[in-house]
Chains A and B, each alone.
Chain A
Amino acid sequence: MKTHLFLLSLSFIFWCSSCQKEVLISTDAEHQFFLESDGAFLPVFVDGNTASKTFVIFLHGGPGGSAINYNDYDLFDEIERDYAVVYWDQRCAGSAQGNCQKSSLTIAAHVRDTELLIALLKHRYGDDSSFFLMGHSWGGTLALSYLLTNNNQDYIRACIIVDGMPNFTNYHEKVTALINHHGNQQIELGKQASKWEKLLDETSSLDQHTIEGIGRLNQLTYKAESLMQQVDSISTPSLSPGKGLGVLFSSPQNLFSSLSNNLVSGNAMAEELIAFNITDELPQLSLPMAMYWGKYDFVVPLDYGQTIHEKISATEKELYVFSQSGHSPMFQEQALFNSKVKAFLKLHR
């Protein structure tokens, strides 16, 4: 009898907890849900101050990266105090699940997913919510593509592009010039000279007309960034090993799915991205925009940020260069990055 009562109470507690109504408006929200789009299950995490009714939608890099990764490292905790940050893993990316087909890995499908996500956020948090986009790297490219589709910029209060590309034109020349510039400087100073020489040799020998050549160049840009980190031009993120271990074992992310998705998405979208160019459409963008760039970004050189800044018709625009950052200022100059973002959000909310 006692056992029966115990089991009954246990079931009741379980039932009650599973039926608990989610509190959507909070100053310290930690919400998780999924968006189903065309067979793909896309995880969405909304963290922070949903009571502010201001949502910063973070578009991760890649294609094939993960927004959960940025959340695991608590990069935007400072922003979450005042606003809600939306971490969303795109189709075939990070820990997204389901049946995402290779054929659906297009910029148009990603734009459609972003539209659906914003509609869903309105559905959950109310029509009075306001939305900001913050796109990093490929996420910046996606943000620009989204804003230039239909009348999407009407739904967005303002946008932050962090080291993202509006086109792939002359990518090889721009990247090679930057690597040569800093590489030769470092060789003259005798800092990691042999490594730089090797890097410069390989960079100049790459075939710029093949996807493999561009893919390899992309890998070399990260190598250049790590060399600049060793001479303290780029600050090294202070992420503790304990944190890394915690992320590895207790994160919603799945390390293997992230690796597999990254590989699949990157390869599937390479051809479309190499041909990508929306520079001529940039004057259509009239919403407030900020371009945040790392001075030593070899992956997406500052030149691209300057192009966006020059071409958009927005009257409220800002180009800010993080002097000790490479491709990821939110990791490399976290405190400064967050204060810049918060100031921008405060100005335009």
Chain B
Amino acid sequence: MKTRNMLVFLFLPFFAMAQTENAKALKISYYGDFFSHPGIKIGYELPLRYRLKTKEKKGVDRPKHKFQLLELATTFYYHPGNHYGLLLIPSYTFRTVKENGKKQDWSIGLGYHRSFLTGPTYSMDQEGDFIIQKGAGQNTVFASLTYAFGRDYRWTKQKPWAWDIAFGVNARAPYNSSVLFGIHTHLGVSYFLNY
């Protein structure tokens, strides 16, 4: 009973949302590991909470749409001569959309990173012969903090589209005997499915 109440409490805002605010989105982005190592990111956005906040400015009401979203994303990128990276990251996003469509996101993500080395990887077996390892690479935990800005056209142009540009910092561990910090960027478009 307790669990059911808790679930209802958690998901009530989600079910209570109107169609526009409730819209789930598919997102596709250019992903740049260290900006220039190219990749592609595909994500699915699920709004969890929504609040309409209105602020009066110079006698005019200025509405702001505040969201909390869960994004499930998979990313593949290539660092030439170093590794191919595969990321599976759920992230939690705090989004604000102004009445003119300008939007800002802050996201925190925690997930899985797998690297695949870009060349044949040799190791010596017990007989002293070299063998090539298949799928050599590393499994690591990946954490990220990302800021994004862009436009959401649902309220201004009544179109199911949005775009954003994002910059973020990330950390991978374990990496050798420490943590590897990095930076990333996205440039993406979102399509709202049930708009």
- Taking Cβ atoms with an 8 Å cutoff, the residues of A that contact B are 31-37, 40-41, 43, 45, 68, 91-92, 95-102, 105, 116, 119-120, 123, 249-257, 260-261, 263-264, 268
A41 near B182 (CB under 8 angstroms)?
no
Contacts of A99 in B (CB 8 A): 138, 174, 176
Q: A254 to B175, alpha carbons, bound, how many Å?
A: 12
> Which residues does chain B contribute within 8 Å of A120, judged by CB atoms?
122, 130
Stretch at the interface among B5-13, B76-84, B101-109: B76-84
**B124 in the interface, Cβ–Cβ < 8 Å?**
yes
A33 near B176: Cβ-Cβ < 8 Å? no
Residues of B within 8 A of A34 (CB): 117, 119-122, 136
Select one of B82, B123, B138, B177 contacting A95, CB under 8 A: B82
B34 at the interface (CB under 8 A from A): yes
- Interface, chain B (partner A; CB < 8 A): 34-36, 79-83, 115, 117-124, 130, 133, 136, 138, 174-183
Question: In whole angstroms, how far apart are the Cα atoms of A229 and B194 in the complex?
Answer: 65
Q: Does the CB pair A260–B181 fall under 8 Å?
A: yes
Closest 4 A/B residue pairs (Cβ): A252-B81, A36-B123, A249-B36, A34-B121
On chain A, the residues within 8 Å of B179 by CB distance are 260
Besides the known contacts A45-B81, A102-B177, A264-B178, 8 further A-B residue pairs in the complex with CB atoms under 8 A apart: A34-B119, A36-B122, A36-B133, A91-B176, A251-B81, A256-B181, A257-B176, A264-B177
Residues of B near A33 (CB, < 8 A) are 119-122
Q: Which of A98, A116, A253, A268 meets B124, CB within 8 Å?
A: A116
Residue of A nearest to B133 (CB): A36
Within the complex, what minimum Cβ distance (angstroms) separates B148 from chain A? Answer: 21
For B130, what are the chain A residues with a Cβ–Cβ distance below 8 Å?
119-120, 123
Give the interface centre of B80, B176, B183 by most chain A CB atoms within 10 Å.
B176
User: What's the nearest-Cβ distance from chain A to residue B126, in Å?
Assistant: 14
B80 touches A250 (CB 8 A): yes
Selected from B133, B176, B181, the residue in CB contact (under 8 A) with A97 is B176
Question: Is the Cβ of B175 less than 8 Å from the Cβ of A41?
Answer: no
The reply to whether B175 and A260 contact each other, CB–CB distance below 8 Å, is yes
Contact indicator B34/A249 (Cβ below 8 Å): yes
Given known pairs A34-B122, A41-B136, the reply for A255 and B34 (CB within 8 Å) is yes
Chain B residue numbers with a CB within 8 Å of A41 are: 117, 121, 136, 138
Interface CB pairs A-B, < 8 A, 26: A32-B119, A33-B119, A34-B136, A36-B123, A36-B133, A40-B176, A41-B121, A43-B81, A92-B176, A96-B176, A120-B130, A123-B122, A249-B34, A249-B35, A250-B36, A254-B79, A254-B82, A254-B182, A255-B34, A257-B175, A257-B176, A257-B180, A260-B175, A260-B180, A261-B176, A263-B178
